[in-house]
Structure 1
Amino acid sequence: MKIAILAGSNRKQATSTQLCRYIGSVLETKECEVTLLDLNELQIPFYSPDIESDNKNLQYMKETLKAADGIVLATPEYHGAPSGVLKNALDHVGFDHFDGKVVLSVSSSGGAVGISSLQQLQTIVRNVHGINCPEWISISGEQRTFTADGAPADQKTKDRAERTLNYFVGMVKTFRK
């Protein structure tokens, strides 16, 4: 089962990207083939409906999302919304990449838990005909501390991630084409 993780931060040590790496490692223990698309490293051009881009990073992202059985979208929460780099990346894709696929939304927020960004991601997923996983992962405050091996330092956060990922994997198995 192929899972694409789109890490939507433009920050080198972003906690949302650290969480994505942890999610990827957990998914690999569940026999998933995981591809992490880190938007800090994978620079995507600004979206314009007037320009057809042949950017190699953009093509790689599109191919990876299209081939995936399930997708994880992760973002920091900025001003109550997903990051601009994630929104820009999502503007480049559509039905061909999400139709009928289960999508898990993930957020990391410096303040209160990032509910607004998660709700907005779920709206985007609905509009590209993806299937929102009814569970999500959101970390904030002290939950954003990771151990040297990349796992969340907080046991409750690890337990919540494990339960959510079990649910997500079950849904992907059910809905994959």
Structure 2
Amino acid sequence: MKIVIIAGSTRAGASSTKAARYAAGLMQEQGHEVNMVDLHQHRLPIYCSDDAVQVPEVISLRQAVLEANAIVLSTPEYHGSISGALKNALDFLSAEQFDSKLVLSISSAGGAVGVNSLQHLQTIVRNVHGINCPEWISVGGAQREFGPDGAPASEGVQLRIHHAVKYFLELAQKLLKD
């Protein structure tokens, strides 16, 4: 299965990106093809018009999501919502790329959990005709620590990500068969 992950932080070493990379590793271990679009490295222009679709970074983003069977969106929670970089990236996408595809949401917040950003992502996914995975991943506060191997320092966070990824992959496979 082809999976695209859009990591929505523009900050180097962001915990939301680390959580996405850890999830990507679990998916790859199970034989899935993962394309990681890290918005820290894959800079996009500010969305303003259809003229921007000629920009190579926008073209590659659209193509990656179009070709994917399932999608993961990862964001830091800023002021109770998703990052501006992720929202900007999503503005370049539409139902053409998301229609009937399962989407797993990941959030990292300075507080206990990033529920607001996850709810905002679910609203956006519905509006582009994606299918929200009933599971989501939220890491917050001290749970945002990752070891040098890329694994969450907290065993509880590792288990949570393993569980959510397993559920996401199983559901995505079921949806592909239908």
TM-score bin, normalised by smaller chain: over 0.9
CA distance in structure 1 between the partners assigned to 2:52 and 2:40 by the alignment: 22
- Offset at residue 149 of structure 1 (A): 0.6
Report the residue type matching 1:164 in the other structure.
Answer: A
Report the residue type matching 1:150 in the other structure.
Answer: G
User: Aligned pair 1:58/2:58, yes or no?
Assistant: yes
- Offset at residue 111 of structure 1 (A): 1.3
Whether the 8 Å CA contact 1:70–1:176 is kept in 2: the answer is no
Q: Which runs of 5+ in 1 are unaligned?
A: none
Q: Which residue of 1 aligns with 2:139?
A: 139
User: Aligned pair 1:174/2:174, yes or no?
Assistant: yes
How many percent of aligned residue pairs carry the same amino acid?
Answer: 48
Q: Which residue of 2 aligns with 1:16?
A: 16
Whether the 8 Å CA contact 1:66–1:96 is kept in 2: the answer is yes
Q: Which residue of 1 aligns with 2:116?
A: 116
Report the residue type matching 1:16 in the other structure.
Answer: S
Q: Which residue of 1 aligns with 2:92?
A: 92
CA distance in structure 2 between the partners assigned to 1:160 and 1:99 by the alignment: 27
Q: Which residue of 2 aligns with 1:67?
A: 67
CA distance in structure 2 between the partners assigned to 1:127 and 1:26 by the alignment: 28
- Offset at residue 13 of structure 1 (A): 1.1
- What is the TM-score of this pair, normalised by structure 1? 0.97
Report the residue type matching 2:11 in the other structure.
Answer: R
Any runs of at least 4 consecutive aligned residues in structure 1 with deviations exceeding 2 A, and if so which? 49-53
Per-residue CA deviation, residues 81-139 of structure 1 (Å, 9 max, x unaligned), is 00000000000000111000000000000113000000000000000000000010000
Per-residue CA deviation, residues 134-176 of structure 1 (Å, 9 max, x unaligned), is 0100000111111111000100100111111010001110112
Q: Secondary structure, in 3 states, of the residue corresponding to 1:3? A: strand
Whether the 8 Å CA contact 1:4–1:36 is kept in 2: the answer is yes
Report the residue type matching 2:129 in the other structure.
Answer: H
Q: Which residue of 1 aligns with 2:46?
A: 46
Per-residue CA deviation, residues 31-69 of structure 1 (Å, 9 max, x unaligned), is 110011000100111111353431111111110000000
Report the residue type matching 1:24 in the other structure.
Answer: A
Report the residue type matching 2:18 in the other structure.
Answer: Q
RMSD: 1.0
Report the residue type matching 1:22 in the other structure.
Answer: Y
Give the count of matched residue pairs.
177
Deviates more, 1:48-57 or 1:33-42: 48-57
User: Aligned pair 1:6/2:14, yes or no?
Assistant: no
Whether the 8 Å CA contact 2:52–2:58 is kept in 1: the answer is no
CA distance in structure 2 between the partners assigned to 1:79 and 1:5 by the alignment: 23
Q: Secondary structure, in 3 states, of the residue corresponding to 1:137? A: strand
